[in-house]
Amino acid sequence: MKRLALTPIQAFFLLVAAMGVLVLAVEASGNGYFQTFTALMLVNVMLAVSLTMTNGFTGMFSLGHPAFMTMGAYVAVLFTYPVGRKGFAMPALPEVIAQIHLPLPVAALVGGLFAALMGWLIGRLVVHLQTHYLAVATLGLIIVVQTFALNLDGFTRGGRGLTGIPREATLALIGVSTVLVIVLCWRIKHASLGRAMLAVRENEMAARCFGIDAFRLKITAFVLGAGIAGFCGALLPHVVSVMSPKSFGLILAFNLIAIIVVGGQGSILGAVIAAVFISLGSESLRMVEESTGVYGVTQVIVAVALISFLLVRPKGLFGLKEPFIRTS
């Protein structure tokens, strides 16, 4: 039997078709629960794919995604919150911005760009840190950003959180974004840029010895990851209509790491598959939790899955590889 192997172009059309069917079917179902779940799952896919680029391609160990999501989310909400209620909810907002209302796709891009800019500023300081030092630094970043969000209550309403954020994140918007993020990361991985990043991951000093600027590539991967995280963070409050400083925190950072470890650090398809399965799994477990009253089972099971993979199959499902797709 011949092994299934699509060309990248065929895989792209398959992805577009699958996404189209999923979005249309879920929209047509008219079921709000399915719609929200699908939206959250697709955002998880984007987050996982971008983290597998930042961490998996270059060998860095950043936990910073939730920090950049928080930044992106609050910046985007500044532009999408109903103008009439901004004076009440965000009294510190300058009049100029208070008058502006942007459609979500634009606001989310602004949020993503802001997160990317912050990623560049922070990345210049931290990406030279090796492995767990970077993990600790980015862990700290999550806390710092949450504290800022909590205390900048003139913009964020602090711990009370913002409610009534317009549910403008349509499934179509999220579906298209997901395809774009996957294509972006795929193109990078299979270009010279991606090979150079992988070289840095495999052996940084050897890579530098034939002219690869490791620092620059790490910054590139970190900033792109931060930008995509910021964009995803901007979409989420427009799915669930609320946002608080604690929305994106340590547990999310941990879950994302679990997803990319299970998928295989550096495998885009692995990240997609793992994100879908872990989203489905934790959602069904959540229902079990609610019916049995035993809360926290989901987190335990995700953690156990992570530990089992690290013990039995440390390279995850696919390692660096992209299964089912022919690559040179």
Partner 1 sequence: MSQLHVRKLSKMFGGVQALSDVDFSVEKGDLVGLIGPNGAGKTTAFNVVTGVMAATSGGVEFEGTDVTHFSPERRARLGMTRTFQNIRLFDDMTVRQNVMAGAHARAGRSLLHCVFGLPGHRAAEQRIRDIADRMLERTGLTELATRNASELSYGDRRRVEIARALAGAPTLLLLDEPAAGMTDTEKGRLSKLVSSLNEDGLTIVLVEHNVRMIAALCKRLVVLNKGELLTSGAVDEVLRMPEVKTVYLGRRRTEVV
Per CB under 8 A, 209 contacts partner 1: yes
Query: Which of 66/227 has CB closer to partner 1?
Result: 227
Per CB under 8 A, 3 contacts partner 1: no
By the 8 A CB rule, do 218 and 60 touch?
yes
Question: Which residues touch 79 (CB under 8 Å, ≥6 apart)?
Answer: 97, 100, 101, 102, 106, 107, 110
For partner 1, the binding residues in 210-249 under the rule CB under 8 A are 210-214, 220, 224
The residue within the footprint of partner 1, chosen from 15, 26, 46, 207 (CB under 8 A), is 207
The residue within the footprint of partner 1, chosen from 193, 250, 285, 301 (CB under 8 A), is 193
- Residue 219 CB, shortest distance to partner 1, in Å, is 11
* Segment interacting with partner 1 (CB under 8 A) among 27-35, 63-71, 129-137, 193-201: 193-201
User: How many residues does the structure list for the chain?
Assistant: 328
Per CB under 8 A, 28 contacts partner 1: no
DSSP string, 272-291: HHHHHHHHHHHHHHHHHHHH
Question: Which residues touch 244 (CB under 8 Å, ≥6 apart)?
Answer: 159, 160, 161, 162
* Segment interacting with partner 1 (CB under 8 A) among 45-53, 61-69, 97-105, 198-206: 198-206
By the 8 A CB rule, do 131 and 247 touch?
no
Q: Which two tokens stand for residue 184?
A: 């972006």
Per CB under 8 A, 181 contacts partner 1: no
- Residue 13 CB, shortest distance to partner 1, in Å, is 17
Task: List Cα–Cα distances, 38 to 150, 178, 277, 283, in angstroms.
Answer: 29, 12, 12, 11
**CA 269/CA 102 separation, integer angstroms:** 33
The binding site for partner 1 (CB under 8 A) comprises 184, 187-188, 191-193, 195-196, 198-199, 202-203, 205-214, 220, 224, 266, 319-320, 328
